[in-house]
Amino acid sequence: MVSRSLNDALNLYAPRQETSMMEDSKAQSGDAITQVSQLPEVIEFKNAVEEGGRSTFHVERENFGGAPQGTTAIRVFEVFPDHQTTFGRYAVDENSKIYRYDGVNDTWESY
């Protein structure tokens, strides 16, 4: 275990700027989730899940390694009592451009 004085000497504490960058990343994730949630196909899926009543609808940020560089990956899915089913994967870049993942061809298509 590293002692507090050694942490101070080595300056191992995260600078405030990193905290700010993490907060910016969280805000971008929230914006990306909102953008994907407002897509017509996602709204339609959400309504179908809610009408079915056997599962719950979810939209979350995901660490999807195949997402394009510089984007926030978003997964839209439903949760059943015994499993989860993915409806789609999306990526949103810093300019709010949305991409949809085509799992069959392993490609990202502009939305």
Decide the pairing of beta strands 84-93 and 98-102: antiparallel
Nearest of 23, 36, 27, 18 to residue 73 by alpha carbon:
36
Amino acid at 87: F
Confidence band, pLDDT 50/70/90 cuts, at residue 22: very low
Confidence band, pLDDT 50/70/90 cuts, at residue 30: confident
Tokens 């999807």: give the residue: 64
Q: What is the pTM of this model?
A: 0.74
